[in-house]
Amino acid sequence: MKNKADIQERIDIMKSLSDASRLRVLNALMKKPQYGEELAQRLNLAVSTVSFHLKKLEKAALIYKVKEQYYTVYHICDDKFNMSLRELIEFDNLDKYIEDERIVKYKQKVLKTFFRKNRLVKLPVQKKKKMIVLEEFIKKFTPGRKYKEHEVNDIIIKLYDDYCSIRRLMVDEGIMTRENQIYLLNQKEKTK
């Protein structure tokens, strides 16, 4: 079973192989390890172009570099090139990875829409978006710690001026409990 990092690594490999210039660089490196300027000369490419492609290939862990005196010499990562295509594309949990990525992008979009300079500019109307916004407030509280009302207000006001609405919403949604003006973050909320 591949984890999220494995899947991303394999996606990076496939992306890096989708460029003709990078394929030329890899073919040259398969013949022998080389430094950037040497590759540029052999492939008749600009040094900056080769450098760009080397960075992409290194990010995908298809190559590695070794410092030798004044030069940086690039080598092929043999273990990656010994993988079969089946090994490269076989994922047990690809659907979950895709769904997780979709959720992350959606949350980023919502936060970008409703926050400016780390402050909430407007509370969303839609519940799903509102809950994403509230997650940012949850991060400011410590699980298990009891807060007085003015402490809750002080934390909230750093992100949004209408601390009453946020405080009430956090209690109404079960994110926090309130008893005798003492607030406590529900443990399950912090672990999401």
Q: What is the pLDDT of residue 25?
A: 94
Cα gap 93→2, rounded to integer Å = 7
Q: What is the pLDDT of residue 5?
A: 66
CATH of domain 4-87: 1.10.10.10
Q: What is the pLDDT of residue 14?
A: 87
CATH 1.10.10.10 domain extents, the chain: 4-87
Residue pair 175/138 in contact (Cβ under 8 Å)? The answer is yes
CATH of domain 94-190: 1.10.10
Q: What is the pLDDT of residue 110?
A: 95
Per-residue pLDDT of the chain (192 residues; tens, 9 = 90+): 356 667 778 888 888 889 999 999 999 999 999 999 999 999 999 999 999 999 999 998 999 999 988 889 999 998 888 888 887 777 677 677 778 889 999 999 999 999 999 999 999 999 999 999 999 999 999 988 999 999 999 999 999 999 999 999 999 999 999 998 899 998 764 444
Residue pair 131/173 in contact (Cβ under 8 Å)? The answer is yes
Q: Report the largest interatomic distance among the alpha carbons of the chain, rounded to a whole angstrom.
A: 76
Beta strands in 32-135 (DSSP E): 34-35, 63-68, 71-76, 115-116, 119-120
Residue pair 141/147 in contact (Cβ under 8 Å)? The answer is yes
| pTM value surpassing 0.75 | no
Residue pair 156/167 in contact (Cβ under 8 Å)? The answer is yes
DSSP code at position 84: -
Q: What is the pLDDT of residue 10?
A: 82
Q: Taking the CB of residue 175, how many other CB atoms lie within 10 A of it?
A: 22
Q: What is the pLDDT of residue 2?
A: 52
